[in-house]
Structure 1
């Protein structure tokens, strides 16, 4: 599931921006979440055969009224309605949820007959209710239809969304000024600043790279190898361990993009045209290659792909997820 930027912003700022906010402000933030939802849904479902852990991926995202605190709650109610405490924030175009007739601002009543979570006394200004609703959907069988009970304009309806297995992962847009992207094996997070300047195909390249970390089980393998996070991750053996995971994620991301219908060359263009602003230049640590080196390595992986129209066999890098990580001399 994709975690709501709108709700995260409200929770982070408590009362939201000073004074009344034009509804267009909240709608613009919802549009960012919708972009992330669409990219995530395409990558999750197209690459389900490569993932060991699956969940339903209907192509929708949720938010909850108690994510908004102070003045933001009244603004959220005025903008989004909230006929029920948890409702649909956005739906990916062309997704099973969209084809089933689910639309933004549908209230969520139940999932496969189980009532949707409701806010508790300690949930105000947090994402607890939304997270519980996401978890409710994620724990349903991925290979069976998802039956959602929805409410809108005072009426209740039941919608059956065809089974749509997707790679098990949450996706989240991060607030703040940083050009940040990361995965901890559970959540893929991408900084909102990327959405301000990049087209969807380049953002998809970023998301595919981070989802590759999840598919390749990098977090658990780094922990098993005794790697350290933080400043130590940039030096010595730790830097080499992280560098190997970054290189492998770059390789796999090429295949994820192709499977999802994106042009893998978008990843090359991202590193050649935009990567210089985030690769650290002369201050770059050992854990990441230069933007130029990454673009070249990605281009080399693209050269191994079969011609358009022919299926992509299982990427060779997938075999590494069963291997312990070992320090290797990083490439330039």
Structure 2
């Protein structure tokens, strides 16, 4: 994905887009950083507050990272300036109050090592564009022991230092902004992707409703369980057994999602309010897939659940649906 394709939707927040061959202005990069930090902050709240609901966990430190090779070769100079890259992997932002923040990690630090795993230096100017190095670094963090300090070697304005970060245990999942997809959202069992338009006109509480729904899919292993029974997600997705089982997983994700929100300190009533007031725009209204309930039906169902949750002060709440995650779909 070229830098222009990566940042063009987010540029609507800041200024007019340059020609594809032009060097992006600093506003491009700051718009991207702002959106990624919003998503990272929501994800950190949801994953750490709901660790008790997850049987797959990882260290959560509140530190979205990126690789210089995620940007097109022509844009790497401006990206390196905006994000302070001194190695291949940089710290894009830091979630306020999260372990990385408390340990003294800063936005624009660069990573030289994670524990004993050395990370590459700056790439060659003609290095191919991809996110593989970022994915490897994220996996290295995710595979660390949540109960032990995570040792990060950082480069900061030419100085090398080692910083110990005391992580918080959280649900295992990655989170990405899905560019060029409008208001789409998806989860594949490992990654939650949220369309870039949510970061243009939606509040963090509204985005959290969508993120919680997709995280619920990962917690409940819906992708794996649907694959196990050979569900067709293509042209036949809405028909017969395909439609019934996909609809079942969507209803379960709605249900678990509202518990994830409440456990993370969000108002559970934000979920029914979202579907009541914004759902038609998000799901296509009359043209929505019939694998999903209508926005009105979702709002009505979640309204009743939210009232029950609001009347129950104990946290975290663990609904019975969590126990189904290893059961075959039928």
Aligned to 2:29: 26
Cα distance change, pair 25–31 in 1 and its aligned pair in 2 (3 A): same
Query: 2:288 maps to which residue?
Result: 284
> Pick from 6, 20, 45: which aligns with 1:9?
6
Tell me: CA distance 1:313–1:270, structure 2 relative to 1, closer, same or farther (3 Å).
Answer: closer
Using the size of structure 2 for normalisation, the TM-score is 0.91
The equivalent of 1:156 in structure 2 is 160
SS at match of 1:132: helix
Given that 2:69 and 2:127 are in contact with CA atoms closer than 8 Å, whether structure 1 keeps it comes out as yes
Preserved contact between residue 209 and residue 250 of structure 1 (Cα < 8 Å): yes
Deviation at 1:78, TM superposition (A): 2.1
Asked whether 1:315 is paired with 2:312, we answer no
Q: Secondary structure in 1 aligned to 2:309?
A: coil
User: Equivalents in 2 of 1:179, 1:173: separation in Å?
Assistant: 11
In structure 2, distance between residues paired with 1:272 and 1:144: 43
Contact 1:11–1:68 (8 Å) recurs in 2: no
> Displacement of 1:6 after TM fit?
7.3
Q: Which residue of 1 aligns with 2:51?
A: 48
Tell me the residue number matched to 2:236: 232
For residue 12 of structure 2, what is the aligned residue in structure 1? none
Match of 2:250 in 1: 246
Report the TM-score when normalising by structure 1. Answer: 0.90
Task: Map 1:1-332 onto structure 2 (within 5 A).
Answer: 9=6, 17-117=20-120, 124-305=128-309, 307=311, 309-326=313-330
**Where does the alignment leave 5 or more consecutive residues of structure 2 unmatched?**
10-17
For structure 1, list consecutive stretches of 5 or more residues without a partner in the other structure: 327-332
Closer, same or farther in 2 for the Cα pair 1:123/1:300, shift >3 Å?
Answer: farther
Structure-2 separation of matches of 1:7 and 1:97? 30
| 128-137 or 114-123: bigger deviation | 114-123
Q: How far off its partner does 1:118 sit? A: 5.0
CA RMSD of aligned residues (A): 2.4
After superposition, the Cα gap between the structure-2 partners of 1:285 and 1:47, relative to the gap in structure 1 and judged at 3 Å, is same
Distance, in Å, in 2 between the alignment partners of 1:168 and 1:119 is: 29
